[in-house]
């Protein structure tokens, strides 16, 4: 009788919200429920409940109120159900997105590389065009330039008597440097009417042939001499051949237009055949049919005239030595009058500076 009543008490005194025997109250809830009874008496159902928990503590841990389910656990269960329904679709979606990203990135990289290649190709074409147009045409540039070698079989005659005239630098100081607005030498400027015939006392020299060009190295032989012209930024040169009325003597006047007087002096030093430290080299004759400028005896004088270098070269037509005859020396001095264009430039520069 007492036991049955205890069981009913156990069923009726359970806290509300528990629908089956598996949803056992927690120790806190049991303590709260026990607090509703008198503090002096402990119901039989409470003693049995404690006994049952002590015998089977695992059941107590499994029993948890539904209202106290952890939200994280609920979310995890929901995620698991979704994954189980989708199967391998999440992995497939991730792989697909990764492939698309790689394709886009690869397209960007490929486009960048193609653009850089195009720019490099244009730059290379520009350099090639510059070299073809400017360098291959024989133009000289500062410190560099194309060296035009003389024709094969050219004469390698050097004068037997040579004099380098470095005096008069103070006179040519106004044209010590070539101006930025300077133009190349021309045939009319160097071999105009004033220089077609040169007269001194009873001696006369008449212009027979002349040439003006922008390839200075083509008028000389000797690698060091050619390089000195290139280093001195020689932009143009001129040469003319004169003969006396009897045709016994021949002279050649050569003029180089260089960057400054220092460059002109360096070229003059390379022309000096008496300098054992320099490699042989000299100017080439314009007319190779005249024996005196291709073989035999000859005399030469060089003069630095501001940024110009003038070379005066004289010989007998037959190439024979002059002996005691001073006519060769006279014609050598007379040939210096061929540099009229240099004196005219000096006069114009002095007037502009005054």
Is the domain of 155 the same as that of 138? no
Exposed/middle/buried for residue 60 (C-beta within 10 Å: 0-12, 13-18, 19+): middle
Is the domain of 173 the same as that of 208? yes
Q: Does the residue 71 lie in any domain?
A: no
- Give 268-295 pLDDT, tens digit per residue: 999 999 887 778 899 999 988 899 999 9
Q: Does the residue 105 lie in any domain?
A: no
Residue 207 contacts residue 244 (beta carbons within 8 Å): no
Q: 145, 166, 198: which is the final residue of a domain?
A: 145
Residue 265: which H helix or E strand, with range?
helix 261-271
Q: What is the pLDDT of residue 276?
A: 73
Is the domain of 279 the same as that of 182? yes
Is the domain of 135 the same as that of 166? no
Place of tokens 């061929």: 338
Is the domain of 132 the same as that of 234? no
Q: Does the residue 248 lie in any domain?
A: yes
For residues 345 and 213, what is the distance between their CA atoms, to the nearest angstrom?
19
CA atoms within 13 A on the CB side of 41: 7
Helices 2-12 and 44-55: angle between axes, nearest 10 degrees: 80
Question: In 56-183, where does DSSP find H-type helix?
Answer: 57-62, 71-86, 89-130
Q: 63, 82, 103: which is the final residue of a domain?
A: 63
Is the domain of 156 the same as that of 168? yes
Which stretch of 66-80, 199-213, 214-228, 239-253 has the lowest confidence by average pLDDT? 66-80
Is the domain of 134 the same as that of 152? no
DSSP 339: G
Residue 136: which H helix or E strand, with range?
none
Q: Does the residue 298 lie in any domain?
A: yes
Is the domain of 137 the same as that of 21? no
User: pTM for the complete prediction?
Assistant: 0.60
Q: How confident is the model at residue 242 (pLDDT cuts 50, 70, 90)?
A: very high
Residue 219 contacts residue 254 (beta carbons within 8 Å): yes
Structurally, the chain folds into a number of domains equal to 3
Question: In 215-254, where does DSSP find H-type helix?
Answer: 223-231
In the chain, the N- to C-terminal Cα span, in Å, equals 147
Is the domain of 255 the same as that of 186? yes
Q: Which residues contact 170 (CB under 8 A, 6 or more apart)?
A: none
For residues 202 and 220, what is the distance between their CA atoms, to the nearest angstrom?
32
Q: What is the pLDDT of residue 181?
A: 87
Bridge-based pairing of strands 161-165 and 299-305 is parallel
- Give 172-224 pLDDT, tens digit per residue: 999 999 988 899 999 999 999 899 999 988 899 999 999 999 999 999 999 99
Q: Does the residue 96 lie in any domain?
A: no
Domain extent for 131: 116-145
Q: Does the residue 82 lie in any domain?
A: no
Q: 127, 145, 163: which is the final residue of a domain?
A: 145
Beta bridge partners of 260: 177
Is the domain of 165 the same as that of 205? yes
């Amino acid at each position: 009788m007492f036991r049955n009543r205890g069981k009913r008490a156990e069923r009726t005194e359970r806290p509300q919200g528990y629908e089956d025997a598996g949803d056992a109250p927690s120790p806190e809830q049991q303590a709260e429920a026990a607090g509703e009874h008198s503090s002096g008496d402990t119901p039989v159902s409470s003693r049995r409940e404690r006994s049952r928990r002590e015998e089977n503590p695992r059941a107590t841990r499994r029993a948890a109120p539904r209202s106290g389910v952890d939200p994280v656990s609920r979310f995890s269960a929901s995620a698991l159900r979704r994954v189980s329904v989708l199967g391998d679709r999440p992995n497939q979606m991730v792989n697909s997105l990764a492939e698309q990203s790689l394709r886009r990135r690869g397209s960007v990289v490929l486009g960048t590389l193609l653009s850089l290649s195009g720019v490099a190709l244009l730059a290379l074409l520009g350099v090639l065009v510059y070299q073809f147009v400017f360098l291959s045409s024989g133009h000289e540039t500062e410190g560099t330039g194309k060296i035009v070698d003389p024709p094969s079989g050219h004469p390698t005659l050097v004068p037997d008597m040579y004099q380098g005239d470095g005096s008069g630098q103070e006179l040519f100081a106004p044209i010590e440097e070539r101006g930025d607005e300077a133009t190349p030498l021309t045939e009319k400027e160097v071999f105009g009417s004033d220089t077609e015939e040169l007269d001194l006392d009873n001696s006369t020299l008449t212009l027979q042939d002349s040439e003006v060009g922008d390839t200075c190295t083509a008028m000389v032989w000797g690698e060091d001499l050619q390089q000195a012209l290139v280093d001195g930024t020689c932009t143009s040169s001129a040469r003319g051949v004169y003969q006396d009325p009897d045709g016994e003597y021949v002279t050649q006047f050569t003029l180089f237009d260089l960057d400054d007087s220092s460059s002109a002096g360096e070229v003059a030093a390379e022309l000096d055949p008496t300098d054992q430290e320099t490699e042989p080299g000299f100017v080439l004759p314009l007319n190779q049919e005249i024996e005196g400028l291709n073989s035999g005896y000859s005399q030469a004088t060089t003069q630095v005239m501001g940024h110009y270098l003038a070379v005066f070269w004289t010989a007998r037509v037959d190439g024979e030595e002059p002996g005691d005859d001073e006519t060769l020396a006279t014609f050598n001095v007379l040939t210096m009058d061929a540099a009229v264009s240099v004196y005219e430039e000096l006069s114009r520069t002095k007037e502009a500076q005054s």
